């Protein structure tokens, strides 16, 4: 990986690791700290410019990967940040809290399972109370379990994937709306899989497509309240999800190589998009899906 700051002009082909990744398998949801190599979520590399001064953000899946990169960037841009994650991910979450606090911002840890409607309500209450308000919802948590054959997708897996990826969005947004002020922003996390689905991710791809429709419909519904809603659609990004059942292990050495930029992305490469969509700089952007795909575009 490059030792240059991401702010300096450089060749994106060579900016981060190009050589693929070693095979490895963790139990879902995976611990980022135990990955080889550990993804870059901007802990040292992201530089803030005060773009979210005074804002109050809740980031689901904020312990690791893309959510962690968003949480760290939000803090470095001046926001106080609550993160949600599964209780088994406490170690990763505590590391994120340290980075947020080092940036001079408040960090609130809210472990719990967003597949539970009651928990979603409690999470919003707690985030709102601890932060003294809530005006950015970055909904990044997600579940992905690869299966070669639809016959192997059990009803249990199907239900768990739809509940975590789609139903949770309804529950979280419903609980949050009474607290969100004019100017608040909601960002969901879709995927390249909504547009170019893989044969091994039939259930997951269907949830990501549902998230695109959810985002666009909600954006139109909330526009009169002055609340914007957009989605980020990542391509192949090096995260814990990929080493805990999201990909078959044997695909990891070539993970991301089939993009025009010929490498997987690092979570920090999404951070600025989550910041842009949260900030006032994107005031005329709503109901959009932003691809960050290394070139395998989303439309």
Q: Which positions touch ligand NAD (CB under 6 A)?
A: 29-30, 32, 60-61, 63-67, 84-86, 89, 113-115, 140-144, 164, 189, 191, 234, 236-237, 239-242
Q: Are 298 and 289 in contact (CB under 8 A)?
A: yes
- Distance (Å, rounded) from C-alpha 100 to C-alpha 52? 14
Say if residue 160 is exposed, middle or buried (CB neighbours under 10 Å; 0-12, 13-18, 19+).
middle
- Distance (Å, rounded) from C-alpha 63 to C-alpha 141? 10
- Residue 164 contact among Mg ion, ligand NAD, none, beta carbon within 5 to 8 Å by kind: ligand NAD
- Distance (Å, rounded) from C-alpha 212 to C-alpha 174? 17
Q: Which residues are catalytic?
A: 204
- Distance (Å, rounded) from C-alpha 202 to C-alpha 4? 39
Q: How far is the CB of 201 from ligand NAD (least distance, A)?
A: 10
State the residue number with the nearest CB to Mg ion.
64
Nearer to ligand NAD, 8 or 156 (CB): 156
Residues 50-89 that bind Mg ion (CB under 5 A): 63-64, 89
Nearer to ligand NAD, 48 or 256 (CB): 256
H or E segment and range at residue 269: helix 268-278
CA-based Rg of the chain, rounded to a whole angstrom?
18
- Distance (Å, rounded) from C-alpha 165 to C-alpha 139? 9
Q: How far is the CB of 209 from ligand NAD (least distance, A)?
A: 12
190 binds Mg ion (CB under 5 A): no
Q: How far is the CB of 9 from ligand NAD (least distance, A)?
A: 26
109 binds Mg ion (CB under 5 A): no
The 221-250 contact track toward Mg ion, x by CB under 5 A, reads -------------------x----------
- Residue 245 contact among ligand NAD, Mg ion, none, beta carbon within 5 to 8 Å by kind: none
Q: How far is the CB of 37 from Mg ion (least distance, A)?
A: 16
203: which 2 tokens?
A: 């259930």
Write the CA distances from 118 to 61, 174, 278, 291, integer angstroms.
18, 12, 26, 32
Nearer to Mg ion, 64 or 105 (CB): 64
Binding site for Mg ion (CB under 5 A): 63-64, 89, 240
């Amino acid at each position: 990986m490059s030792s240059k700051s991401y702010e300096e002009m450089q060749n994106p082909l060579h900016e981060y690791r190009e050589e693929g990744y070693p095979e490895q398998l963790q139990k879902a949801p995976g611990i980022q700290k135990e990955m080889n190599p550990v993804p870059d979520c901007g802990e040292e590399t992201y530089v803030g410019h005060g773009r979210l001064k005074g804002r109050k953000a809740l980031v689901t899946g904020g312990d690791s990967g893309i959510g962690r990169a968003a949480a760290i960037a939000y803090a470095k841009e001046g926001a106080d940040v609550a993160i949600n994650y599964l209780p088994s991910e406490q170690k990763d979450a505590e590391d994120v809290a340290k980075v947020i606090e080092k940036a001079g911002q408040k960090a609130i840890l809210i472990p719990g399972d967003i597949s539970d409607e009651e928990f979603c309500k409690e999470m919003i209450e707690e985030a709102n109370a601890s932060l003294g308000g809530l005006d950015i919802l970055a909904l990044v948590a997600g579940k992905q379990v690869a299966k070669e054959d639809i016959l192997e997708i059990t009803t249990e897996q199907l239900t768990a994937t739809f509940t975590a990826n789609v139903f949770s969005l309804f529950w979280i947004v419903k609980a949050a709306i009474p607290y969100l002020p004019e100017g608040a922003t909601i960002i969901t996390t879709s995927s390249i899989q909504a547009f170019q689905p893989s044969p091994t991710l039939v259930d997951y791809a269907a949830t990501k497509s549902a998230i695109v429709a959810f985002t666009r419909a909600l954006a139109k519904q909330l526009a009169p309240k002055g609340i914007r809603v957009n989605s980020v659609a990542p391509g192949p990004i090096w995260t814990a999800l990929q080493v805990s059942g999201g990909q078959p292990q044997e695909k990891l050495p070539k993970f991301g190589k089939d993009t025009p930029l010929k490498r997987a992305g690092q979570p920090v490469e999404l951070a600025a998009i989550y910041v842009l969509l949260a900030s006032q700089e994107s005031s005329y952007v709503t109901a959009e899906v932003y691809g960050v795909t290394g070139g395998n575009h989303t439309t």
